[in-house]
Structure 1
Amino acid sequence: MSTPVIELSGVSRRYEDGPAALDEVSLTVHPGESVAILGPSGSGKSTMLNLIAGLDRPSTGTVTVDGVRVDTLGEAGSARFRRAKIGMVFQFFNLLDDLTVADNVVLPAEMAGMARGAARRRAAGLLDALGIERHAKAYPGRLSGGERQRVAVARALMNRPALLLADEPTGALDSASGADVKALFNELHADGQTIVTVTHDLTLARSCATRTVKIADGRITADHRTAVAG
């Protein structure tokens, strides 16, 4: 069995005196898996995503991503680790409106110290592969929601991350754009990308995930492996 990309062991997260946002959760994700995390609002799924990304720390337990204990990293170390190992896609894209599409995509590589020429070539290749190369010089505000999400995915893939984390990637899209993003995620998974998606979108989970993890009240209540519906 391959070394896990994600390994949560006995992870709990509590905030002050309230109930646990996560309660003794253990989860292992292997390379090439596409995992959908489902649950109602307040179930703990976003907390889990933040812990995996090193944006938060567990109260107890350990969080290991690509062989690194991210729960032990400081703020600067976490930021460096995310740049190198994790791509993140958000519901509302989080693109910089005053930068062109190409500049948005190049930004993570420049922050990681990649040579400018190499970064530009990498960005051009990603935009071409994702079918949005014609928009390289445009600004995000001029694109459709589906196109902006493709730009966000290109940016997330810029540094060849071991893991792609997506937080409600179809939540702000109409049905046509959502279908476009689902097809894109299927393509990424077919290419071997490890993906963890937090979503309320059952059709996204059914069409893109090889595994569905359900969370309620901070605990995993179901963990099923399935074939991608396509």
Structure 2
Amino acid sequence: MTPSEAEPLIDLSEVGRTYDDGPAALAGLNLRVARGEALAVLGPSGSGKSTLLNLLAGLDRPSTGRVTVDGLRVDALSEAASARYRRGRVGMVFQFFNLLDDLTVLDNVLLPAQLAGTARGRAAARAAELLERLGVARHARVRPGRLSGGERQRVAVARALMNRPPLLLADEPTGALDSASGADVRDLLRDLNAEGQTIVLVTHDLALAEACATRTIELVDGRVTRDVRAVAR
């Protein structure tokens, strides 16, 4: 194992985040996530879950402390560098998919590669590979509004993986799905993690956490109150 492989993919040190004069959204958080882990973040509304995801994505900055992802000090990046970081090192999956309905499924998946300046032929081959692997290749020329919720979430995952990011962030990825589609997405995330993808997912879905996560933490008032590793699957 090389030194870089031994280092955690995510390293948060004494991270605090406050907004105006309100209570701390995160309070002195220390968290290390190894490469290849699937971390589920649980907790009540207002516990700091969304703040944690935003900090990892470089969409927000801590009031105190350091946020390091893949060896990069995310909290110290400029706005332009943060955008490059999100394009190259982070894939994001949202509860309501955030697909562009005026683009086809294929063009939605291609978008991150286009923003990163990837050659069209190379990007098209990667998109075709992902759509086939995730079972939605037959919908490549269709607009997302014609797909089921589960299919749209599969397209969103394909888009998130387009630039081969070391970190996949998922915010309530089954929250807008029926039970059958939710189970489908749970299987997908579990399979991705089994292939080595590092995942951090925020969820209220205990079944999702139990099915997908190799480790679960619970946040309450911006602090980790529970940190449990799953029995090896």
Q: Is TM (by shorter chain) over 0.5?
A: yes
Q: 1:227 Cα shift? A: 2.8
Provide structure 2 residue ranges, at least 5 long, that are not aligned to the other structure. Answer: none
Question: Distance between the aligned counterparts of 1:166 and 1:227, measured in 2?
Answer: 22
**1:25 has 2:34 as partner:** no
One-letter identity of the residue aligned with 2:122? A
Which of 74, 79, 103 does residue 83 from structure 2 map onto?
79
Query: Is contact 1:63–1:69 with CA below 8 Å preserved after alignment?
Result: yes
Q: What SS does the aligned partner of 2:47 have?
A: coil
Q: Which runs of 4+ in 1 moved over 6 A?
A: none
1:165 alignment counterpart: 169
The alignment covers a number of residue pairs equal to: 229
One-letter identity of the residue aligned with 2:65? G
Give CA-to-partner distance per residue, 1:66-123, whole Å, 9 cap, x none: 0000000011110100100000000000000000000000000010010001101100
**1:150 has 2:159 as partner:** no
Q: How does the TM-score come out when normalised to structure 1? A: 0.98
Query: Is contact 1:208–1:228 with CA below 8 Å preserved after alignment?
Result: no
1:8 alignment counterpart: 12
Query: Is contact 1:88–1:166 with CA below 8 Å preserved after alignment?
Result: yes
Question: Distance between the aligned counterparts of 1:8 and 1:149, measured in 2?
Answer: 29
Query: Is contact 1:100–1:138 with CA below 8 Å preserved after alignment?
Result: yes
CA RMSD of aligned residues (A): 0.9
Question: Distance between the aligned counterparts of 1:106 and 1:220, measured in 2?
Answer: 37
1:174 alignment counterpart: 178
1:64 alignment counterpart: 68
One-letter identity of the residue aligned with 1:65? V
2:119 alignment counterpart: 115
2:187 alignment counterpart: 183
Q: What SS does the aligned partner of 1:186 have?
A: helix
Q: What SS does the aligned partner of 1:16 have?
A: coil
Query: Is contact 1:145–1:172 with CA below 8 Å preserved after alignment?
Result: yes
Provide structure 1 residue ranges, at least 5 long, that are not aligned to the other structure. Answer: none
Q: 1:147 Cα shift? A: 0.1
Question: Distance between the aligned counterparts of 2:107 and 2:6, measured in 1?
Answer: 36
Q: What SS does the aligned partner of 1:15 have?
A: coil
Which of 45, 48, 57 does residue 49 from structure 2 map onto?
45
Q: What SS does the aligned partner of 1:124 have?
A: helix
Query: Is contact 1:12–1:25 with CA below 8 Å preserved after alignment?
Result: yes
Q: What SS does the aligned partner of 1:71 have?
A: helix
Q: What SS does the aligned partner of 1:223 have?
A: strand
1:101 alignment counterpart: 105
Query: Is contact 1:5–1:67 with CA below 8 Å preserved after alignment?
Result: yes
**1:216 has 2:220 as partner:** yes
